[in-house]
């Protein structure tokens, strides 16, 4: 299971967004509409990287647990 979190332009974090990140962010921020946010990459491709909800620009991240095998 992937753990998703978001960070807005003010540095506020939104943890454990679940499977439907947009729906959860709308609920937490108290809005009804949100748009996808895109970013240009160095190879000229465009990727969906988060959501614009009200005055918040929330970038999404996938968090992976840290594990290291012991000898």
Domain ranges of the chain: 3-63
Q: Report pLDDT for 66.
A: 84
Q: For residue 18, is it left (φ>0), alpha (ψ between -120 and 50) or beta?
A: left
Q: Report pLDDT for 60.
A: 97
C-alpha span between 71 and 61 (Å, rounded): 31
Mean pLDDT, the chain, integer: 94
- For the chain, list residues with pLDDT below 50: none
Question: Which tens digits make up the pLDDT trace of 29-43?
Answer: 999 999 999 999 999
pTM: 0.85
């Amino acid at each position: 299971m992937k753990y998703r979190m978001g960070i807005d332009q003010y540095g506020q974090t939104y943890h454990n967004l679940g499977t439907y990140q947009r729906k959860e962010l709308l609920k937490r921020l108290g809005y009804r509409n949100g748009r996808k946010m895109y970013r240009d990459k160095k190879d000229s491709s465009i990727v969906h990287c988060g959501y614009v909800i009200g005055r918040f620009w929330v970038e999404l991240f996938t968090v992976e647990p840290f594990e290291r095998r012991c000898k």
